[in-house]
Chain A
């Protein structure tokens, strides 16, 4: 959630919400969880929209009849069933459908990689700080606070501006390395609350290594929490990537949803009413990120009975 954009850019709103999650509640049984999951309209909505977009990202490029970056079609064609230009063409005659599905794929890749890396660092820092305490905690906390305060988006901007060749991997890694602090902080608090419980003491007495205790005893007790954190980081990474790409720092030699919006604005698509060029990319990001957020609230309600609608 730090900068990002578009925080985080997970939304500013979500971190406090995560932070107030009280200790994780053990599920009484898997069946009950499934029952509440299927009955939760938010969760069902979020999962269906996200899966639909994911399927589109996987199979869309197979349906495209033109390469995303070649100039084959008529200039600025409106959407048509003719010749496979279902989403029309750009001002220069590129196939918008093909660009759209390519961008959709990249969005999921950036989300998974960037969100995954951020979650990994957040877990490493949060677990270590919470479990070790003392000086280690002080140092890690300081580091977390520094990265939290730095407007990471501006930092990404400066770094990316100097890179000669930018790839989707570098972009994801940079996003992952700058968007973990709020997750680390939330996990640290969660770990603190678990470390003093009896079962952790018992595990310590048995002489197991710290990492085994963290991953076998502590992490499973907040698995729902970890999953929700990953969802928010995933959505945040997609938003940050779109913003970076829009500024002109997107990956070279391919096309992303943010770059589609940048090119359409640059080529006066608004003034020329080429709406098929600039509407789909933003709508897709909104659908993915929005459904992820809704899925997150749905999961929260499933795992935490107090929040269920009465």
Chain B
């Protein structure tokens, strides 16, 4: 069990170092002086502003130092929580932008991931080898899981918000409301949260339902299931065992799917102008605000690594084989 954890931690550590290195090296790998490139793209007319910005960039990238020192300082400032300053939203620091945007993204992602996983597994398990239910769940699941996140968001926004006015078209809350822990403001948050949440929930729900349905069919066709039914065990019991076994790959799948649903959250936020990380990254990309892009990337990496670790712990609890050190384990 300790070995299992140490291996995992080693992979996560390696991934983190690699990701930070990539994040640091991309501006350096681009041909030419990255600062001049950046300056050229921003196209500032006022020479005074340009000079100031140039100095700022040189300092921020530490370009006057030897390469290894630049790399070292990147790590030092990273551990001080310093990710640079936004150009677009000057003088906000990238850290403060992330701190303000992250709750919206996490508030969408965490419920969407957990609820879609739970509901998808339940519905998929019910549908397996049950003709009538399967005939609706299967096509619906495939349609949902093949839908690009932003398109479902576009459809929901166009029908429910623009045409029928049931939900707001966008933004995180009603801009006229006063912010604070009042029931009115929390209600406004929830009201604006619902449609982006639903787009994320529905697409990943389809994937989980199909995955579980297929897994249960594999399990029901396996030897132990046949043996149980030959013994005359009730169908309910067999399905229960099948469900437990089918659960393990679904937990592994949860870790694997994080990246996809994360991408989904980013584009969903763009459709709804929802003030989370996706919307910030979109603004940063269209305005070439590179520190924000790089900072959000690092935040995402850390978030995904933490989530992976939590899923590992969950796996450990669910699968006894991992605990006593036998093979087992998804990865």
Give A contacts to B, CB under 8 Å.
Answer: 1-9, 11-17, 19-20, 142, 145-146, 148-155, 157-159, 161-162, 182, 185, 235, 239-240, 242-243, 246-249, 258, 261, 264-265, 270-271, 273, 275, 278-279, 281-283, 285-290, 292-294, 297, 306-307
Contacts and interface: CB of A to CB of B under 8 A. Distances in A.
A149 B15 contact: yes
A165 to B, nearest CB: 12
Interface in B278-306: 281-282, 285-286, 288, 290, 293-294, 296-297, 300-301, 304-305
Contact of B259 (A5, A285, A287): A5
A15 B256 contact: yes
B250 A161 contact: no
A246 B278 CA distance: 12
A247 B215 contact: no
A12 B155 CA distance: 23
Contacts of A161: 285, 288, 290, 293
B320 interface: no
Chief secondary structure at chain B's binding surface:
helix
Contacts, number: 237
B262 A154 contact: yes
Contacts of A145: 11, 331
A11 B257 CA distance: 7
Contacts of A297: 214
Contact of A293 (B146, B148, B255, B285): B146
A142 B11 contact: yes
Contacts of B304: 149-151
Contact of A16 (B23, B149, B250, B286): B250
A157 B11 CA distance: 22
A153 B267 contact: no
Given A142-B14, A271-B162, A15 B285 contact: no
Contacts of A246: 148, 150, 267, 270
A256 to B, nearest CB: 12
Contacts of B224: none
Given A12-B260, A151-B304, A261 B11 contact: no
Q: Which 10 A/B pairs are nearest by Cβ-Cβ distance?
A: A3-B259, A13-B211, A282-B151, A12-B257, A16-B249, A290-B146, A5-B260, A7-B260, A9-B260, A289-B146
Given A3-B258, A154-B296, 18 more contacts: A1-B257, A4-B263, A7-B259, A9-B260, A12-B204, A16-B253, A17-B214, A17-B215, A20-B249, A146-B15, A158-B22, A158-B294, A247-B267, A249-B285, A261-B154, A265-B150, A283-B151, A306-B221
A150 B15 contact: yes
B148 A153 contact: no
A243 B163 CA distance: 25
Interface string B171-215: 000000000000000000000000000000000101111111011
Interface in B138-162: 142-143, 145-152, 154-155, 157-158, 162
Nearest to A14: B211
B149 A6 contact: yes
Nearest to B204: A12
Given A1-B256, A153-B260, A270 B149 contact: no
Contacts of A162: 26-27, 30, 290
B12 interface: yes
Contact of A153 (B155, B210, B262, B290): B262
Interface of B: 11-12, 14-15, 18-19, 22-23, 26-27, 30, 142-143, 145-152, 154-155, 157-158, 162-163, 169, 204, 206-212, 214-215, 217-218, 221, 249-250, 252-260, 262-264, 266-267, 270-271, 281-282, 285-286, 288, 290, 293-294, 296-297, 300-301, 304-305, 308, 331
B26 to A, nearest CB: 5
Contacts of B270: 246-247, 265
B256 A243 contact: no
A282 B147 contact: yes
A278 B150 CA distance: 10
Contacts of A273: 158, 162-163
Contacts of A287: 146
Given A149-B308, A154-B262, A157-B297, A265 B271 contact: yes
A149 B11 contact: yes
25 contacts: A3-B262, A9-B259, A11-B210, A12-B208, A13-B211, A14-B207, A15-B253, A16-B250, A16-B253, A146-B14, A148-B256, A148-B331, A158-B293, A161-B285, A161-B290, A162-B26, A239-B148, A243-B266, A243-B267, A247-B281, A279-B155, A282-B147, A283-B151, A286-B147, A290-B143
B18 A261 contact: no
